[in-house]
Chains A and B, each alone.
Chain A
């Protein structure tokens, strides 16, 4: 009785062990293939490829950009209401200035009279700005072959070094944002080219401006709000003017979702 129990236990164990070690080999052929997944690193689908569960330290700027994004987005949702007010006060300030400035006649200029005047008569507006400027450069979004080959080279390196840090670095560097960066940079250059800022203005070092822009698909502006004013109407205006002058904004094809809200800021 006892021996039978022992025997059956032994038999069971061997059976279990056999299955545990041998069957997977038979069912899943060549498991090594799985690690080749890493080659997807530089394709746009990288985000979907399996990742190690280790927390991936964000090192490069490119990877930081998309991750930080949600915060300002939230702020922005509340902000516009306040912003429109900022714009309004700046307008009324302008009026106040005009009114405040009273003639202080000296002996010579006693007869000079100065008065503020209101809005101009209705003028015919010509809102058709769309076709004024030529279309800007178009984007290229397909992953290139070289990228893939480069990724393979990297994999070899990684295998040599066995450094987990570098693996995760590579994996959090999707090409999509590399390309967006180039487009953002060219948009920045365009706006800066149209921006005339008085050099040497007192207090330029302390000025901070944040402007939120909502863009239509055709690159025109659907709304523009000052989230943070520099406190100087002339300076705020100069930035708004530069953006308007850059219309139609060069929105890369197929990336409207990314470019529909743009935050423009200045701070020294």
Chain B
């Protein structure tokens, strides 16, 4: 009996131990549910934008206009659903007194809420200023996502509105904004008394505000491009009867010729550091266009391509190390990438159809182009490795794509069969095609970098 006990005790303890441990580990083994998210809601995100409030009616007026501008910016991205003001449960007064009552904003299904104040400083002075304070809230977490105060001269209210829009956009999407930017384009109209169509160099805010034309329309102008600091526009003009490239200094309005090079001078583009310009020149090549770069300080010209066919439309990569261009060296026009010294030329596109007008995205991950295929024109994008090509639009004549400063939206020229020509924008995903509001017909758009 003693023997048995001696044998049994350790065995019993061991087995009890084992049983217990099995029980202990078995319990939590079931208590974990794993969910792997795949699809998100494809609808735009519901947001509530309340008017910036002030103490006077003048301030309230300005606050309302500014939020209207912000609302329009965000709506135009196609990513946000601005909840109608009429659905709001919490009044402006209550908001000012109590701050946001998040429960009421959840009830109208808002995900985020914008609240702000506006104050005009020194309204009686000659240089009145304003101070705008905004806060962006997560309605479900009940926490502040972003907040900032801007003080500026009253005349810059649109710019401030765009800056706030960019802040909201960045906070919610994680991408840089693009609202505080301008677009230069060729405005086409035929005013009374003029028989021919007048083509002028015009600029506007990206939302169509602050329209302004910079040339008188006496000479034909084409292909304008912004410099990286947004202060200079380079463009092609027949001002002296010959196609030459000109630099227009925006603050002074001063125009200077880049160089009087023989033959056709066309498709200019600034390098990302702004110190040189890539362009197409025919020089003495019997009308054969080649890609050149020019150092703006040293005024030194460098030839990058030597081929009997057409080499044109150079565009820098955002790191300034490569240039994508268009060439028909393999028969039909295709896209090629080379180093900025002209070496290591590699073909990028092998698809059907003809490729034109490549433009490297500021984000670096894509190159936009025009593709002519089966009698239709498309705006498309391709990655710099040439692995995946996507066509975003289809039209009678879609051309001259240009990127938003954050590489998210493409603006391009669309000409209808009727000859009607306007500037359109499309999201990188291929959705949200929109016509930009220009007072006249418009073509050849170019987007500026973000203006600080």
**A residues apposed to B, CB below 8 Å:** 65-67, 69-70, 72-73, 76, 94, 98, 103-109, 111-121, 123-126, 128-129, 132, 180, 184, 187-188, 191-202, 232-235, 237-242, 244-245, 257-267
Contacting residues, chain B, for A76 (C-beta < 8 A)? 32
Q: Pick from A73, A132, A196, A237: contact of B29, CB below 8 A.
A: A73
Contacting residues, chain A, for B111 (C-beta < 8 A)? 196, 241, 245
Whether B286 is near chain A, meaning CB under 8 Å from some CB there, is: no
Question: What separation, in Å, do the CA atoms of A257 and B152 have in the docked complex?
Answer: 57
User: Contact between B144 and A98 (Cβ–Cβ < 8 Å)?
Assistant: no
- Closest Cβ of chain A to B400, distance in Å, is 22
- What are 22 contact pairs spanning A and B, CB under 8 A? A67-B29, A98-B147, A106-B229, A112-B156, A113-B151, A115-B150, A119-B144, A124-B99, A126-B102, A128-B103, A184-B33, A184-B34, A188-B36, A192-B38, A195-B40, A196-B45, A197-B41, A198-B174, A202-B363, A234-B173, A262-B32, A262-B35
Majority secondary structure of chain A interface residues (helix, strand, loop or mixed): mixed
Q: Which of B51-59, B134-142, B295-303 contacts A (4 or more CB under 8 A)?
A: B134-142
User: Contact between A111 and B156 (Cβ–Cβ < 8 Å)?
Assistant: yes
Contacting residues, chain A, for B144 (C-beta < 8 A)? 119-120
Instruction: Give the residue name and chain of the B residue nearest to A241 (CB).
Output: B140
- Interface code B141-166, partner A: CB below 8 Å = 1, 0 otherwise? 11011111111110010011001000
Whether B451 is near chain A, meaning CB under 8 Å from some CB there, is: yes
Whether B215 is near chain A, meaning CB under 8 Å from some CB there, is: no
Contacting residues, chain B, for A66 (C-beta < 8 A)? 29-30
Question: What separation, in Å, do the CA atoms of A123 and B129 have in the docked complex?
Answer: 29
With A109-B451, A112-B150 as known contacts, state yes or no: A72 contacts B174, CB within 8 Å: no
Contacting residues, chain A, for B41 (C-beta < 8 A)? 192-197
Closest CB pairs A-B (n = 5):
A234-B174, A123-B99, A197-B40, A196-B45, A244-B140
User: Contact between B429 and A114 (Cβ–Cβ < 8 Å)?
Assistant: no
How many B residues have CB within 8 A of the partner chain?
71
Contacting residues, chain B, for A200 (C-beta < 8 A)? 408, 427-429
Question: What separation, in Å, do the CA atoms of A25 and B41 have in the docked complex?
Answer: 68
Contacting residues, chain A, for B153 (C-beta < 8 A)? 111-112
Inter-chain contact total with CB atoms closer than 8 Å: 201
- Closest Cβ of chain A to B46, distance in Å, is 8
Whether B171 is near chain A, meaning CB under 8 Å from some CB there, is: yes
User: Contact between A241 and B141 (Cβ–Cβ < 8 Å)?
Assistant: yes
User: Contact between B152 and A109 (Cβ–Cβ < 8 Å)?
Assistant: yes
User: Contact between B452 and A105 (Cβ–Cβ < 8 Å)?
Assistant: yes
Question: What separation, in Å, do the CA atoms of A108 and B156 have in the docked complex?
Answer: 9
Instruction: Give the residue name and chain of the B residue nearest to A187 (CB).
Output: B35
Q: Pick from A115, A125, A242, A263: contact of B33, CB below 8 A.
A: A263
